[in-house]
Amino acid sequence: MNKKREFDHTNKLRMDYVLLTAVLILLLIGVLMVYSASSVWSDYKFGDEFFYLKRQMLFAIAGLIGIWVMVKIPYFKWVNWAVVIYIACFVLLIALFIPGVGIVRGGAKSWIGVGAFSIQPSEFMKLGLILLFAKLLPQNQHKLPNFLQGFMPMLLLILLPFGLIMLQPDLGTGVVFVLSGMLLLFIAGAKISHFIGLASLGLVGLAGLIISAPYRISRIQAFLNPWEDPLGDGFQIIQSLYAIGPGGLMGLGFGNSMQKYFYLPEPQTDFIFSVMAEELGLIGGTFILFLFFIVVWRGFLIAVHAQDLSASLMAFGITSLIMIQVMINISVVIGLIPVTGITLPLLSYGGSSLTLTLLSLGILLNISRYATIK
Amino acid sequence: MRRIAAITVRKRLTAVFLLIAVYFIIMVCRLAYVQLISADEIIEKAEELWSRDIPLYAERGKILDRNGEVLVDNQLAPSLAVVPRQIDNPESVAEKLTDIIPISKEDALDHLTKVAAVEIIHPEGRKLSEEQAEQIRMLNEPGIYLAQDSKRSYPHGEQLAHVLGFTGIDNQGLMGLELSYDDELSGEQGALSFFSDAKGRRLSQLSNRYKPPEDGNHLSLTIDAEIQSIVERELDIAEAKYNPDGALAIVMDPDNGKVLAMASRPNFHPAEYQSVSPEIYNRNLPVFSTYEPGSTFKIITLASALEEKLVDLDQDTYYDDGDIKVGGATLHCWSSGGHGSQTYLEVAENSCNPGFVSLGQMLGEERLFTYIEEFGFGEKTGIDLQGESKGIMFQEEQIGPVELATTSFGQGVSVTPIQQITAVSAAINGGYLYEPQIVNGLVDPVTGEKIKDVEPVMKERVISQETSEEVRRALESVVAKGTGRGAYVDGYRVGGKTGTAQKVGPDGRYLENNHIVSFMGFAPADDPEYVVYVAIDNPKETVQFGGVVTAPIVGTIIGDTLRAKDVPKREGGLEKEYQWTDVPMVEVPDLIGESKNNLRHYLNNLSLDVQGDGDTVISQSPKRGEKVESGSTIRVYLGDSD
C-alpha cells in the first residue's frame, strides 16, 4: 500500500500542466466575461460597473490559492475523511430545513450561513459523494453487480441527499448530483441492466416530479416552442438566442453585447455563455467549448492512468461534475434542452461555486501527480 | 479479478468519454447553426426587440389638375414624439411644453411618464407650426423628438372642396377623393430607429437606423384649375346675387366624359371642414342631388325623336294653343296663350311643352324610355366620386299617357346633374355615352412620371352622328333665337337649353315659387369642346327662370373658358338676332303690376333685365306698346305692389 503514496519527488512540480493551463485560461476569460456581462446590471444595481468583477476576482484568487493548497494535499487524505465529510454535508442539507437556518434565494432554500459567508451545502454534497464513492466503491467493487448487496446501498447514498436537494427545491443541482453519482457507479462496474431498470424507474419518477411542480411543465413547453409565449417561460431561451444569433462568426466584439442591457436575466450567471457567444462569436464560443473539452479530456486521462481505482473514481467524479454542468448549462443556453438553472463552471459569476470548482480541480491536479500519463 | 475490474473501468471510461466527445461536437454544431444559419432570422427579431421607432410619416401624394397644377399640397408640420424612459426630469419638461403647445401640465406629464416605447403627444403635439417646432428643438431635452409630419394645404382655397374632400389629423383620407384614393395617396410610413436597452433607455453608442418613408403617389385629376376657377367665381357671384338654397356647376369634355370643373354650393374649406355641418361636406350636389330636370331634359326627347326620324326640324310643324290634353289631364305650356304654329326647331327654341309632348307621343313610351335608359338615366353614371345618386324613373307599370307626356318635357322624373351632363354630352358628341371621369391617373412623386393612366370608358353608342348634328343645330338655335339667349357668346357658337324645374315639397306636392333653374350649354356648337351645366336652387329676388338666371352664368363660363383656352372664334354660326331677313318685331307688353313670378311667361321672345327688390313690376322700359325686335331686352323694376 505504501508504494501508492510515493510519487516522483525528483520533479516537485510534476502535474498535468495541460489541464492547469486550460483551467487558467478559462478562469481568465471567465473573469473578463463576468465583467463584460455584468457591467450594465452592476452599474444599475450598485452604481459600480466593477462590482461583480471585483468580487469575482477575489473568489478567483481565493480559488487559485485553493488549487495550490489542494495540489499539495495528497488526494487519499480526503478519502480517509470521506465518511465524515459525507455525513457533515448530509447534516448541513438537513439543517437547511430548520426554520431560520436555510436562506431562500431564487425561490429555493439552498443556502446556509451569514451574508457573504453563506454556502450551498448541495455543492459540497456533490464532492462529499464523490469522496465517499472513491472510498467505498473500490472496497465493494466485487459486490456491485449484486443488486441488493452492492448496487442498492450505493444507490441509497445517492438518492437520500438527492431527495433533500429536490426538496429545496433545486432541480439543477439535483440532476447534476444524480448523474455524477450514477456515472461513478457505472464506471466502477455496476451492471448495465440495473441502470436500464433504474432509467425506466427514473422516467416514472421524472413524470411524477413534473406533475408535482407545474412550473416544470411550462418550462418544458417553453423549450419545445419558446416563441409561443415569448414573455413568459420562453423568455429566457429567446433572450439567449437573441444574444447568440447576432454574434455570428466573429461576434460583436468584447463589451458590445446588446442582450446584456437588461434583456438577458442575470447575464453574468446562468447565461454568461450567451454573452460570450454574442461578443466573441462562433469562434469564441467554440474556443470556450474546446477549452472545456481539454479539461474533460485531461480529466479522463487522469482517471484512466490514476494509480489506483480510488484515484480513478475521484478523478472521474470531479471531471464528471464539471463536464455535466458544462453540458447542461450550454445545452440550455443554445436551446438544446429546457431551462434548468445550472451555472457554467469557472465562467459564471458566483463565489462559492467558483471556489469549490477550483478546489476540486486542485484535487484532480494532485491525482495527476501520481498518475502515469505518457 | 482486480485486473478484470480495472479493464472494465477503463473500457467504461473510454465509452463515456467518446459519448461526451460526440456531445461536444453536437453542441458546437448547434452553436454554429444558431450563429450562422438561423442568425438572419434571429437578428431580424432581435433588432425589433432592441429598436424603438420614431415614425417618419410619408408625404401624402398631392392632388393635381390635368395640367399638373397643384390643387392639394402638403406643408411641413412636425409632430412631437417623446421616449418617456429617456426623459430625465418629466416635471420640468412638462412645464416647458405647456409654454409651447396648448396642453396642460398634467396632460403633458401623463404623456411624458407613460409606459410606452415611443409616445406621440396627441393631439396637442400634432401638426406643429414652424415656430413651435423651433422652440421644441431649442429645448434640447433628451427623449424629445420631432417626428417629421405634414398637413394638407389648399392653394386654391375652397375650390373643388367637395370633390377633393379632406383628411384627418393622421393625414388619413376622410372624405371625397382623399378617402377613395387614400391607399394611393398615403404612401408607406418610415422610421428613425435607435437601439435601446430592455428598460427603454437609448443606447447612444449604437448608431441610429433610418428607414425612409415612401411618399404617396400624386393623384392627377381631369379637372382644369383654370376652368374650375371660372366656375367657382361664377357660382360665388350667383350666390351673392341670388342667395340661393344651393347651386352647382359641372364642366365636361363631351368627347371623353372627363370632368373639367365641378362645384357645389354651399361650400366649405377642406382645412376647416369641422366648422360646417356634415350635410354641407357630405353633399357633393353635382352627383348627390336629384331633382326634376325640367326643360334641359327635352334634349333627350329631341335627340330620341330625331334618331327615330320622326320629325324634320324645319319641315314639320306643331300648333301650340297653350295646352295639350293627355289622358284626361290638361298640360299647359309655360307660355300663356301658347306659341301658335311652329316648326319643331321653333318648338325647341321656345321650349314649348305641348310640342315636346307631341314628340314623346310620337316616340311612344317604350321607345322614349328605352332612350332615356340608354342615355344613362336611372342608373349611377359610375363616376369615381362618393355619394352618387341614381335618380328616380317611372316604373314600367306606372307609365301611362300622362307620365309619358310629362317625362317628354322633364317632369315627373328625377335625375342627377352628372347624369344630365353625361347624357347631353352623348347627344352632342356624335352619340357616344361615356362614363364620366374625374381621375386621370397616378403620378410618381419622385420621377414625376405617370404610373397609372385611366382611360375614358365609352359605354354605349346612343344616337347617330347625323342625329347628334341636328341636336346641336337645334340647341344652337335655342341660344341664338330662343329661350337660351342669355348664354349667347359673341363669336362663339353656343348651343344650350334652359331648365326650370319645380321642386317637390315634403308633402309630395310642388312647392310654390321655388324652382331649380338650370342651363345646359356647350360650345363650339360645330365641334363641342365644353359642356357646361349650372343649376341654382331657389334663387331669390329674381324671376325663377333658367333663361334669366343660369343662361347668362353658363354664357360667361363658356365665354371665359373659350377665351382662356384660346379656342378660335367661329364663323358661320347662328347670329343672335339676324337669322331671318324679316326680323319679327314684337309689341312690348304691359308688365306693370305683373307679379315677379309670372314674368317668365313673357320670356318667349324677349329678354328681361330685372332690377330692384319686390314682388311686382312698378316700372318698365321700353314702355308698353312700343315695337321692338324679337329678343330685345326689356328692363323692369320691381317694387312692392302697394
pLDDT in tens, A88-141: 999 999 988 888 777 777 677 778 877 667 788 888 999 999 999 999 998 888
Which residue in A242, A304, A335 is closest to B10 by CB distance? A304
DSSP B389: -
**pLDDT-based confidence at residue B52 (cuts at 50, 70, 90):** confident
DSSP for A234-246? THHHHHHHHHHHH
Q: Residue A341: which residues within 8 A CB-CB, separation 6 or more?
A: A106, A170, A171, A172, A270
pLDDT at B605: 66
What average pLDDT does the segment B457-466 reach? 92
Secondary structure of residue A162 in the 3-state scheme? helix
Check the CA dihedral A255-A261-A267-A268 and report its sign.
Answer: positive
What average pLDDT does range B326-337 have in this prediction? Answer: 78
Residue B583 has pLDDT above 50, yes or no: no
pLDDT in tens, B375-411: 999 999 999 888 899 988 888 788 888 888 889 988 8
Q: Which residues contact B73 (CB under 8 A, 6 or more apart)?
A: B62, B152, B153, B154, B155
Out of A249, A300, A309, closest to residue B35 by CB: A249
Lowest mean pLDDT segment, chosen from B359-368, B491-500, B537-546: B537-546
A334 touches chain B (CB under 8 A): yes
Please name the member of B16, B32, B198 whose beta carbon is closest to the beta carbon of A282: B32
Q: Are residues A20 and A299 in contact, defined by beta-carbon separation less than 8 angstroms?
A: no
Tell me the torsion sign for CA atoms B406, B411, B415, B416: positive
pLDDT at B580 over 60: no
C-alpha distance from A256 to closest chain B C-alpha (Å): 9
Q: CA-to-CA distance for B571 and B426, rounded, in angstroms?
A: 24
Residue A266 has pLDDT above 50, yes or no: yes
Rounded to 5 degrees, φ, ψ at B17 are: -60, -40
The Cα angle at residue A297 between residues A296 and A300, in degrees rounded to 5: 85
A window 44-63, beta carbon within 8 A of B = none
Band of pLDDT at residue B637, cut at 50, 70 and 90: confident
User: Most A CBs within 10 Å: which of B13, B33, B86, as the mutation test of the A interface?
Assistant: B13
Question: Residue A233's pLDDT is what?
Answer: 59
pLDDT, tens digit, for every residue of B295-307? 889 999 999 999 9
Q: CB B107: neighbour CB atoms within 10 A?
A: 15
Counting beta carbons within 10 angstroms of the beta carbon of residue B269, is it exposed (0 to 12), middle (13 to 18) or buried (19 or more)?
A: middle
Find the CB nearest A241 among B27, B42, B196. B42
Select the residue of A141, A247, A263 nearest B49 (Cβ to Cβ): A263
A267-320 pLDDT, tens per residue?
888 899 999 999 999 999 999 999 999 999 999 999 999 988 999 999 999 999
The whole-number pLDDT of residue B270 equals: 92
Q: Chain B within 8 Å of A174 (Cβ-Cβ)?
A: no
Of A246, A300, A323, the CB nearest to B39: A246
Secondary structure string (H, E, C) spanning B534-589: EEEECCCCCCCCHHHHHHHHHHHHHHHHHHHCCCCCCCCCCCCCCCCCCCCEEECC
Taking the alpha carbons at both ends of chain B, their separation in whole angstroms is 147
Residues B196-205 pLDDT 10s: 777 767 776 6
Question: Is domain B52-221 annotated with CATH 3.90.1310.10?
Answer: yes
Q: Can you identify the CATH homologous superfamily of domain B225-564?
A: DD-peptidase/beta-lactamase superfamily (3.40.710.10)
Closest listed residue to residue B597, CA positions, set B464, B531, B500, B532: B500
Q: Which residue out of A223, A258, A312, A333 would a mutagenesis test of the B interface target, given it has the greatest number of B Cβ atoms within 10 Å?
A: A258
Cell of A325: 454542468
The size of the A-B interface in CB pairs under 8 A is 117
* Contact of A176 with A126, CB cutoff 8 Å: yes
Query: How high is the pLDDT of residue B87?
Result: 84
Instruction: Indicate whether B630 pLDDT > 70.
Output: no
Q: Which three cell numbers stand for residue B601?
A: 311667361
Which residue has 413547453 as its cell numbers?
A221
Chain A partners of B28 at a C-beta cutoff of 8 Å?
A: 286, 289
Minimal C-alpha gap between B48 and chain A (Å): 11
Length of chain B: 642
What pLDDT, on the 0 to 100 scale, is given for residue B579? Answer: 40
More confident of the two residues B557 and A41: B557
Q: A187–B27: do the CB atoms touch at under 8 Å?
A: no
SS3 string of B124-138? CCCCCCHHHHHHHHH
Contact B30 A189 (CB under 8 A): no
The nearest CA of chain A is from the CA of B82 a distance in Å of: 21
The alpha-helical segments, DSSP class H, found in B375-464 are 401-408, 417-428
- List C-alpha distances in Å: B491 to B176, B563, B569: 38, 11, 5
User: Measuring CA to CA, which residue among B203, B194, B37, B25 is closest to residue A245?
Assistant: B37
Higher pLDDT, A234 or B496: B496
Identical fold between B52-221 and B225-564: no
User: Hey, where are the domains in chain B?
Assistant: 2-37, 52-221, 225-564, 585-639
pLDDT score at B582: 38
Q: What is the CATH number of domain B585-639?
A: 3.30.10.20
Residues of B acting as catalytic residues: 295
ipTM: 0.92
Determine, for residues A187 and B30 on separate chains, whether the beta-carbon distance falls below 8 Å. no
Q: Across the interface, do B198 and A297 touch by the CB < 8 Å criterion?
A: no
Q: Where are the domains of chain A?
A: 14-370
Q: Which residues in chain A touch residue B14, judged by CB atoms under 8 angstroms apart? A: 300, 304
How do beta strands B209-211 and B495-504 pair? unpaired
Type and span of the H or E element at A122: helix A121-140
Q: Write down how long chain A is.
A: 374
Q: Residue A11's pLDDT is what?
A: 59
Examine the pLDDT at B317 and tell me if it is beyond 70.
yes
Interface check for A282 against chain B (CB to CB < 8 A): the answer is: yes
DSSP at A119: B
Q: How many CA atoms lie within 13 A of B145 on its CB side?
A: 24
- Residue-level pLDDT at B338: 77
How would you classify the pairing of strands B323-326 and B329-332? Answer: antiparallel
A-chain residues within 8 Å CB-CB of B36?
A: 248-249, 282
Q: Does the beta-carbon distance from B9 to A281 stay under 8 Å?
A: no
Backbone angles phi, psi at A119, to 5 degrees: -130, 165
Does A323 sit within 8 Å of B20, measured CB to CB? yes
**Which residues of A fall within a CB distance of 8 Å from B206?**
258
Picking from B574, B636, B572, B583, the residue whose alpha carbon sits closest to that of residue B605 is B583
| pLDDT of amino acid B79 | 85
DSSP track, B30-43: HHHIIIIISHHHHH
Cα distances (Å, whole numbers) of residue B521 to A295, B160, B394, B554: 100, 21, 27, 6
DSSP strand E in A172-220: where?
none
pLDDT digits (tens, 9 = 90+) for B476-520: 988 888 888 888 888 888 999 988 888 877 777 788 788 899 999
- Closest-CA residue of chain B to A145: B5
Q: Would you call A248 and B35 a contact, using CB atoms and an 8 Å cutoff? A: yes
Mean pLDDT calculated for residue range B324-347: 82
Identify the CA nearest to A273 among candidates A345, A224, A362.
A345
Mutation for B interface: A144, A223, A262, most B CBs within 10 A: A262
Residue of chain A minimizing CA distance to B11 = A187
Round the average pLDDT of chain A to a whole number and report it. 86
B8 → chain A, closest CA residue: A189
| pLDDT confidence of residue A3 | 45
What is the distance between the alpha carbons of residues B505 and B511, in angstroms, rounded to a whole number? Answer: 5
pTM recorded for the entire structure: 0.62
